[in-house]
A and B are shown apart, each in its own frame.
Chain A
Amino acid sequence: MGLGQTLCACLKGLNVIALRKACAVLMVVLVQILRSHWSLRRLSLGGGAEDVEKPNDVTGPVSSSEPGQSESAAVSSGGPVAAPVSEADEPAEAAAGGAVSPPDQCDEELVLRPLRSGDIYASFQFRTQWDTDFLHHGKKVSHYRLFPKSLGQVLSKFSVRELHISFTQGYWRTMQWGQPFIPSPPGAELWVWFHNTVEDVDGNWKELVNVLSGIFCASLNFIDSTNTVQPSASFKPLGLGNVTDHRFLRYATLPREIVCTENLTPWKKLLPCGSKAGLAVLLKSEKLFHSSFHSQAVHIRPVCKDWQCTSTAWELRQTLNVVFDIYTSGQGKKEWSLFKMFSRTLTEACPLASSSKVYVDVTDNPEGELFDLSPVTPLLSTAVVLGDRRTYSVYDLTKKETFGQLRSLNLVLRWKGESGDMLRPLLHAERYVAGFGLQTGEIHTLIYNNHPYRAFPVLLLDSVPWYLRLYIHTLTVTSKTRENKPSYIHYQPSKDRLRPHLLEMLVQLPPHSVTEVTVQFERALLKWTEYTPDPNHGFYVGSSVISALVPSVVAMDTNSTQERPLFSSFFPTKEESSYFVRVYTEPLLVNLPTPDFSMPYNVICLTCTVVAVGYGSFYNLLTRTFQVEEPSQSLAKRLANVIRRIRGVPLL
């Protein structure tokens, strides 16, 4: 994609924009172009045969501490999605703690976001940081305090640079709930960046998967080469280090994985306080699994130890997201409380945690017209989360006055107004299988750009199992009934029983449009031992992943009359102009042609009989030569013929 082409396209887009907005938008567009161009160059580098970048030591001075460059690094790598508040809320604390901070520390927080549908979204985040070096050879890390030893050993044994694992039960309903803080696909997802000194990446991956399977009590051991891919662009490291050689990346999903208490318990055991104190006392499985959505994740990555980034630390971030449903929680009262959600109240912070906070999103409720929140807190904090400026009430659990006289904190949230619709999310996607019959089908992926005037590019990643044979020549991308040519396509065909299809595309979404990606496939007939025990259930195809830098709602608001000073609102600031979003579509359930397994014996008998009888007789009839049988002649005639032959007269 040439820079000039992009400029032309953008300038075309400019014609329709009101002049008043033109200036600001031009700026945004320019930034966008530079970014996409830059990241594309990086993509092509990463996709090439040789990685040009030198392997750099993690512990060495990392140059990305310079603000501008770190921004662009975040752009290509996906950016910091998580931690909505912590950066904005306590930068001073982080900066101050740089020099004399203890070797490890942990923080815990809970964000409650009341959703307009009446549901409530609770997001736990537990962060443990430890400035040690697992990857240093020769020096074995053996003394663990807050960081879980089981994970630390895994990191050093398999030379893992980054590890992201999530277990999700349910599908995040973007249209009703907006964007989650940390997105995850239904089932299990695992993606790992290995250190670039690893030689046998596949071997390490295989062992790692089995070890994790044991640690999290999950069927991760079903991850093998048939469902592992190496995305070239969609999954960039979120931590330090700008390795882009995707030979060291492995990505796999298990859409069928069912998440339940047996996965929650080992997850809780990784917490510094277990489930004994702090926010973790709320994590009772009988309530967490009485919900519309449940997702738990573990993210491990190297981060800067301080703001100068002179040395690195390891960050373990455990997140748990859950959405409670107002309807199934019953009794008709539109009211939420900690006790109702978790059947527990908070009495103390985790003694090991350096900070422990509860945030409640009160953005839509500045005057208390939507809901009542009690107890009231004077502490408010604002932050730009997912491109939107949000306001939070903050409850600091390390302070005694938070708990009041009852010595327990039970947040109560009473809905007053009618529940309404959420603001349409700027980006969402859905996917389905079209057609009927068991021979062919078509996968449709719909990507919605609901932004009124901005186009933006998205990266689409599709990993389809080999038993759906994609007809890649039928791949079409259309938006607004016109063909939309992807500027970057990375396709790796499948190999039967060895590896899945991998399709990555960079697609520009026109403003206010639906982009439809379709590809036809043929359903393969499996060998009879390859069917699952329940073949008529169907076979799963994992979610496709859409990664994008979405123009933020704040940037949309160019004639903002909010309390921002005039001088700050002309050019949209960089970090607010767009934000990184990852959207997962729903997985697909596809039926393959399935033999009737209930009567193999009958079938075998019948077939053998038919073949034996039918073939035998047919063969016999077809190969036998038929001859006209001469009736035996009488003696007189024979004698007459002999005489005639002698005379040379024709025979009788």
Chain B
Amino acid sequence: MGLLSDPNRRKALTTLLTRLNTPICVVCYLAGIAWFMGLAFEPFTLRTYMSENAMGSTMVEERFPAGERALATGREFAGHKRKAGGMPVDWLVKTMQDRGLEVFTQSFSRTLPFPDENKERYMVRGINVYGILRAPRAPRTEALVLSAPCSPDNSNNQAVGLLLGLAQYFRNQIYWAKDIIFLVNEHDLIGMQAWLEGYHHTNISGMDYTPLQGRAGSIQAALSLELSSDVITSLDLILEGLNGQLPNLDLANLFHAFCQKIGVMCTIQGKLQRSDWDTAEGYTHAVQTMMLMVLKQASGRPWGDHGLFLRYHIEAATVRGVNSFRQYKTDTTTVGRLLEGMFRKLNNLLERLHQSYFFYLMPSLSRFVSIGYYMPAFGLLATILLLRALDLWVQLGTPTEVTEDGVGEVEPVSINNQGSFDSPLTHIYIDLYSKRHSTFQMLFISGEGTEQGWRVLKLVALLYLAVLLGCTALINFSLGFILAITLVPVAACVTPHLPKAVSALAMVLLSPGCTILYCVFIFQELQEAPVSLSEGWMLFLSVISQGILDHSLFGSLVYPLLALLVYPCWLLLWNILFWK
């Protein structure tokens, strides 16, 4: 560190950095984007592999035979559901009891802060039914969960049928070492939230629920099943959970391994894997898949019923059956065998899933990008903020004509601030120590309306944004990265000397709100369901209301983050633009 403590050399370095500041920032920005886009390029990614020994080498044989019967049960369930006009609680309780499970119910009610337009609900009242398969000779310390939502319309009956079929088949096996909980939850996520809060005896969302009667110890893993047709063409795996949390990568590996073993087509983000990675189409496909994952993760919403488990440190994923126009179909028996295989492997677990990655992006189901590979993309963007802050700091410290304007007794001290390079903390320390620095005083005393004033403000804004985005990216990389893409150029460029109208327009276009709007359009585009401008606008509004709902129902953090932390930062930058 002699480089930094030697004033002359430090000076040389800082002059270099300040002179080349803008080109370096531009390069960093472009490099960040390029790095991110490169993540989807197959040679740069790693192939997924099973890290957990207990699930890797052990053999299981799938024998689930009763797919047809499960479908019949599903139809019966549909009939009873129609008759009851909701969850057929009595029928479910009886059916589960007949299959030898310990059955319990939980009723819950929740009034939303405002009516949910998408799902047309306001006062939600429902009943969860769950049956516990007690593992023989196990002391009720560990459990696995298989859940299927009971939706109000005519979908997902097959999932409940298959769940009951699996319950019957599983009950007759002797090899279970963990209890298995079969849960049919009403009102999808709200019911799931009520059940999870009941199970863990917490109340973080103000839900009204009756306490649970039966429990089975700590839940090790959970799968949520969504199946709406008798035959399917492929199974889609959904991983993104609340606040962008992801389950352990081994759960995805397990699903992928069994899909390959049994010969079921499997997708992630609804996209099939392509083998032609070296063509432009193949690469675009991978980018699309990864972008979808990034957008979903950034939204902070639970994208399936599994999403709420993750808060409780329970690895969970949703498996969704997709029936498209492809010729090759898979029947329910095969899906049942797949689930049986997955459960038997999870049953073999000695420890919680912890061996593999928790932070990853998936450009396809067999490839992943770990945190070590994607973080530099964000790091490059965050560097811009720090470089600009450094530049400002140096500018502020250099004795300029400003010193003549009244704060005469403040002697501009040369060495300790001229060549400042290290973190601001050091300087504040030194400032406090020497008590001679004009900048420090300006923060509190002077600076209003002066050239230095906006610089100080911008410096603060830059550092604040850097810290904020850094913390966000550590928790939810996608959110941090998307915000960085739009906010970093604004923060880096804004000065009061820019043409007001054009820059104001640019700032509005790069504001967090507009970022959400672009994300909506991009998301629709990537999902191959492009929308018109007006539809997009409606979608945008519903996304915002969903965000607020998610916050009040499940404690999603994206809405408060944007409203209370990111938006004020943007306002700071706006202030700089209109500095007088």
Contact = CB atoms under 8 A, between A and B. Distances in A.
Contacts of A540: 141
Interface stretch (B130-138, B231-239, B444-452): B130-138
A545 to B, nearest CB: 15
Interface string B215-226: 101100000000
Given A586-B217, A626-B416, A628-B413, A536 B351 contact: yes
B138 A171 contact: yes
B73 to A, nearest CB: 17
A347 B429 CA distance: 92
A170 B355 contact: no
Given A291-B137, A586-B139, A624-B5, A435 B351 contact: no
A200 B174 CA distance: 46
B4 A617 contact: yes
Contact of A430 (B174, B202, B215): B215
A591 interface: yes
A291 B135 CA distance: 10
B351 A620 contact: no
Interface string B308-335: 0001110000000000000000000000
A621 interface: yes
B218 A538 contact: yes
B1 A328 contact: no
Nearest to B54: A534
Contacts of B311: 436
A170 B352 CA distance: 21
A587 to B, nearest CB: 6
B271 to A, nearest CB: 31
A348 B286 CA distance: 74
A289 B313 contact: no
A187 B138 CA distance: 10
A294 interface: yes
A515 to B, nearest CB: 14
Contact of A621 (B171, B174, B422): B422
A628 B415 contact: yes
A598 interface: yes
B142 interface: yes
Contact of B202 (A175, A187, A435, A628): A435
Contacts of B441: none
B173 interface: yes
Contact of B136 (A325, A435, A588, A591): A325
A591 B313 CA distance: 10
Contacts of B430: 622, 626
B140 interface: yes
B438 to A, nearest CB: 16
B446 to A, nearest CB: 24
B350 interface: yes
B336 to A, nearest CB: 18
Given A291-B137, A589-B142, A598 B217 contact: no
A436 B102 contact: no
B322 to A, nearest CB: 32
Interface string B411-431: 001111000001000100110
A589 B141 contact: yes
Nearest to A117: B100
A621 B1 contact: yes
A445 to B, nearest CB: 12
B440 to A, nearest CB: 16
B1 A617 contact: yes
Contacts of B138: 170-171
A170 B1 contact: no
Q: Interface on chain B toward A: helix, strand, loop, or mixed SS? A: loop
A586 B141 contact: yes
A622 B173 contact: no
Interface in A455-510: none
Interface in A156-197: 169-171, 173, 175-176, 186-187
Interface string A524-564: 00000000001111101000000000000000000000000
Contact of A173 (B134, B172, B200, B413): B134
A588 B217 contact: yes
A629 B215 CA distance: 75
Contacts of A325: 136
Contacts of B313: 436-438, 591
A328 B4 contact: no
B201 interface: yes
Given A588-B141, A621-B4, A434 B218 contact: no
Interface string B155-186: 00000000000000001111000000000000
A328 B174 contact: yes
B354 interface: yes
Range of interface residues on B (Cβ < 8 Å): 35 or more
Contacts of A538: 141, 218, 352
B200 A255 contact: no
Contact of B172 (A328, A536, A587): A328
B251 to A, nearest CB: 15
Contacts of A591: 218, 313, 352
A291 B1 contact: no
B415 to A, nearest CB: 5
B139 A536 contact: no
A290 interface: yes
Contacts of B139: 170-171, 186-187, 255, 586-587
A120 to B, nearest CB: 14
Given A434-B200, A621-B426, A292 B352 contact: no
A169 B135 CA distance: 11
A616 B426 CA distance: 13
A476 to B, nearest CB: 13
Interface in A569-606: 586-591, 594, 596, 598
Contacts of B1: 616-617, 620-621
Nearest to A584: B139
Interface string A241-284: 00000000000000100000000000000000000000000000
A328 B136 contact: yes
A205 interface: no
A171 B422 CA distance: 62
A328 B134 CA distance: 12
Nearest to B97: A421
Contacts of A536: 351-352, 354
Nearest to B204: A436
Given A436-B313, A444-B201, A328 B141 contact: no
A412 interface: no
Contact of A537 (B136, B171, B201, B351): B351
Interface in A603-634: 616-618, 620-622, 624, 626, 628-629
Given A618-B426, A628-B414, A435 B172 contact: no
A620 B137 CA distance: 63
Nearest to A175: B102
Given A291-B137, A540-B141, A616-B1, A432 B174 contact: no
Contacts of B134: 171, 173, 292
Contacts of A618: 426
A537 B140 contact: no
A438 B354 CA distance: 15
A169 B177 CA distance: 11
A110 B351 CA distance: 39
A534 B415 contact: no
Contact of A626 (B102, B137, B415): B415
10 contacts: A171-B139, A186-B139, A293-B137, A328-B174, A435-B202, A436-B202, A442-B201, A536-B352, A587-B139, A620-B1
Interface of B: 1, 4-5, 100, 102, 134, 136-142, 171-174, 200-202, 215, 217-218, 311-313, 350-352, 354-355, 413-416, 422, 426, 429-430
Closest 9 interchain pairs by CB? A186-B139, A434-B201, A617-B1, A536-B351, A170-B137, A589-B141, A586-B140, A169-B137, A537-B351
Given A176-B102, A617-B4, 12 more contacts: A169-B137, A292-B137, A430-B215, A435-B200, A436-B311, A537-B352, A591-B218, A596-B354, A598-B355, A617-B1, A624-B5, A626-B430
